[in-house]
Structure 1
Amino acid sequence: MPKTLKFESLKGNSEFKKILSAKKVSSDLFTIYYANKETAPEINKIHISFVSAKKLGNAVKRNKIRRRLKMAARKAITEIDSFNNKYKYAVFAKSKIYDVDFNKIVQELGYKFGSLK
């Protein structure tokens, strides 16, 4: 993967519904939903959204969770060779992620993204 990654977030309720009805892989820290892209994969654009539900805390806590997830995903994707850019992703945070070490999040994301076929 190139060093400069651009995350393109998912747009609209219909796009989320398609992804949520497709495949998923879970962890203690997050759940990744993924579905095939309708268009050809672009080299440096990754269609991914990071979601933290209201039950995880106030706005400050939720935004911190999203920022940590986004940076961890950016680092994990650049570190692994087997990242599959033919999917659209939605990463839903779980409550444990707030207190976990950043490197653990990167390691877990790398493992899960690498296992997607």
Structure 2
Amino acid sequence: MSKTAALVGILAAASALGTASAGSAAAAPAPVAYNQCEEAQYVTDLFVDLFHGTFQGDRGQAAARAQAFAAAAPAEIKMDSLIEGYAETAVLDGVPSDLLLRTDPVFQAWGDVMDWHTSHCL
């Protein structure tokens, strides 16, 4: 699979996730115990671990957290969170990290989420 085909898949899935999560987010807001800052830190750290091949946690739990953050992300980083969450989940499911994480849109999405975390949480 070429990087372009992978990128098209990421963007299509992110768009579908955004559409699907928009309705469910309005119907069921994030639980009170949910901490956007903590979860933003988690997904940005997860990206780094996956990027460097050093992730050693529970793959299913990590994917669930990435998807939960994407679903509950603040509006200004919603699409970035969807792109990053989809890419992280794909890598956790076995897609080579170089194929996804090193593409410009995914790398940019990670940077945008990290910047949001820095400006809103630190």
TM-score normalised per structure 2: 0.28
More helix, by proportion: 2
Output the TM-score relative to the length of structure 1: 0.29
